[in-house]
Amino acid sequence: MNLKIFLTGCCLVLSTFNVVAADHNVEMKNGGKDGSMVFEPGVINVAVGDTVHFLPTDQMHNSESVTGLVPAGATMWKGEMNKKVSVTVDKEGVYVYKCTPHTALAMVGVIVAGKPTNLADIKKNAGTLSSKFVTNKDRLDKYLAQVK
């Protein structure tokens, strides 16, 4: 009888550790609530271990992480044009990504995984990317201002 109680207790304890990662969708669009050439949503909050799916809602877009604008040691990604790309977030912090052919149009987005532990570094280094914008020059700054 004691073994039965012990095993039941173990099962209950182990079931509390059964965490399921979530899936999140980000659309790649020619136009949306933040203007032209956008990822929607532009800022997304996730947990480490969650997967973000970048969906080619409109054609001629991709999603690519930006060197120097992700957490140290995070896995980088570069999706193909017009293809869905799925990214499993593996480090806590802020990730900035872009659409390669539309970088000049400030087609960028932000993922916040857990706590924004690297936000100060991201803000410090974001100017390198923002300096390439021809339009929507303040889009990345506005997105980063939403990160708390």
Tens of pLDDT along 32-57? 999 999 999 999 999 999 999 999 99
- Position 19 scores a pLDDT of 67
Residue 13 has pLDDT above 70, yes or no: no
Quick one: tokens of 16? Answer: 């509390």
Q: How confident is the model at residue 8 (pLDDT cuts 50, 70, 90)?
A: very low
Residue 118 and residue 112 in contact, taking contact as beta carbons nearer than 8 Å: no
Give 63: exposed, middle or buried? Use CB within 10 Å, 0-12, 13-18, 19+.
buried
**Interatomic CA distance for residues 39 and 57, integer angstroms:** 10
Q: Which amino acid is at 54?
A: F
* Domains contained in the chain, CATH given: 21-145 (2.60.40.420)
Match 């857990």 to its residue by tokens.
114
pLDDT the model gives residue 23: 98
CA 104 to centroid of chain Cα atoms: 20
Count of C-beta atoms within a 10 Å radius of residue 51: 14
In this prediction, residues 126-143 reach a mean pLDDT of: 97
What is the per-residue pLDDT for 20? 86
Q: 63-89: per-residue pLDDT in tens?
A: 999 999 999 999 999 999 999 999 999
pLDDT grade for 126, boundaries at 50, 70 and 90: very high
Determine the Cα–Cα distance for residues 98 and 54; give it in Å rounded to an integer. 11
Q: What mean pLDDT do residues 123-139 have?
A: 97
What pLDDT is recorded for position 104?
98
What pLDDT, on a 0 to 100 scale, did the predictor assign at position 14? 43
Residue type, 74: A
Per-residue model confidence (pLDDT) at position 2: 56
The pTM (predicted TM-score) of the whole model is 0.87
d(CA 69, CA 37): 20
Per-residue pLDDT, 12: 45
